[in-house]
């Protein structure tokens, strides 16, 4: 068995051993080569032109394009299709979204959707260090990278930990920086879980994606340096624009 030269690429370009390749996949492989040649923001030919070039139906071309769009290799621009830039790499660490995006030379931002206060339900209480019925903040923000909508973040924190969140905090800035610099609270550790989901119609509308686009859903429960529960975060990341990285070491 031979392997491709590109590290991380599918073995034998994903071709099954029996050699029978679906027609759309053969077109997708050719389009992938075109994507590499065109480079970021390169404009692809129309579906009709591609169908003529590869001697297939337009539906076959659409299926190949759909997969490349879902993988984040392409993106729509007006009525055309262009080559997408590299995915944003978000580290699995206590670093904030803001820090992760800045490290890649992009401009982070957030757009506030809502900031509400409500009585803490029993299920949430141990995760934010509050008693049932005590006031808890819920802040929902769209995540931006160079003004492109790339995710949706929901943060829950007790009012006791951030009593003036509605008046002191700039919702376009890092919540972690606010806690540290303004309130003197530092993050100690966190538990995270990642899964793949489809966005709800509301979430897809806020992020600006089709509901069928796979999302990476990250759940995080954080504690401060003394071990006290601090916040609960639910973040949706666009599957076509994000990948996650982690540094692994030997466990003692």
Mean pLDDT of 197-223: 88
Distance CA 220, CA 153 (A): 11
Give percent above pLDDT 90 in the chain: 50
pLDDT per residue as tens digits for the range 174-198: 899 999 999 999 999 999 999 888 8
Distance CA 231, CA 175 (A): 11
Distance CA 32, CA 68 (A): 8
Tokens of 143: 């995540």
Q: What are the beta bridge partners of residue 221?
A: 191, 232
Query: With contact defined as beta carbons under 8 Å apart, do 36 and 83 qualify?
Result: no
Tokens of 160: 């006791």
Say whether pLDDT at 11 is over 60. Answer: no
* Confidence category of residue 135, pLDDT binned at 50, 70, 90: very high
Residues 6+ apart with CB under 8 A from 7: none
Q: Looking at residue 196, what is its pLDDT?
A: 87
* Number of Cβ within a 10 Å radius of residue 128: 24
Distance CA 86, CA 92 (A): 18
pLDDT per residue as tens digits for the range 137-147: 999 999 998 88
Task: Please report, for residues 90, 96, 126, 169, 217, the alpha-carbon distance to residue 175 in angstroms, rounded to integers and kept in the order given.
Answer: 17, 8, 20, 8, 19
Sole residue written with tokens 């394009």: 65
Query: With contact defined as beta carbons under 8 Å apart, do 12 and 1 qualify?
Result: yes
Q: Looking at residue 76, what is its pLDDT?
A: 85
DSSP assignment letter at 4:
-
pLDDT per residue as tens digits for the range 32-60: 889 889 988 899 999 999 999 999 999 99
Mean pLDDT (the chain, rounded): 86
The candidate with the shortest Cα–Cα distance to 9, out of 36, 38, 44, 40, is 36
Question: Angle of helix 47-54 relative to helix 23-38, nearest 10 degrees?
Answer: 120
């Amino acid at each position: 068995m031979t392997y491709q030269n590109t590290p991380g690429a599918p073995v034998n370009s994903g071709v099954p051993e029996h050699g029978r390749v679906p027609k759309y996949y053969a077109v997708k492989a050719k389009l992938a080569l075109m994507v590499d040649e065109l480079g970021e923001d390169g404009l692809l030919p129309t579906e009709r032109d591609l169908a003529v070039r590869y001697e297939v139906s337009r539906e076959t071309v659409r299926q190949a394009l759909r997969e490349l769009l879902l993988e984040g290799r392409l993106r729509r621009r007006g009525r055309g299709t262009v080559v997408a830039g590299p995915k944003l790499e978000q580290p699995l660490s206590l670093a904030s979204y803001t820090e992760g995006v800045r490290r890649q030379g992009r401009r982070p931002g957030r757009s506030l959707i809502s900031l509400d206060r409500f009585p803490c339900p029993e299920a949430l209480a141990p995760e934010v260090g509050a008693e049932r019925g005590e006031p808890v903040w819920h802040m929902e923000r769209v995540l931006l990278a160079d003004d492109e909508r790339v995710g949706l973040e929901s943060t829950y924190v007790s009012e006791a930990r951030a009593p003036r969140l509605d008046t002191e905090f700039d919702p376009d800035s890092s919540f972690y920086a606010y806690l540290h610099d303004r309130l003197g609270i530092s993050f100690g550790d966190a538990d995270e879980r990642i899964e793949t989901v489809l966005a709800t119609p509301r979430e897809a509308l806020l992020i600006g994606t089709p509901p069928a686009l796979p999302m990476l859903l990250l759940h995080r429960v954080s504690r401060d340096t003394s071990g006290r529960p601090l916040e609960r975060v639910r973040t949706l990341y666009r599957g076509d624009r994000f990948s996650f990285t982690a540094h692994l070491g030997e466990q003692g």
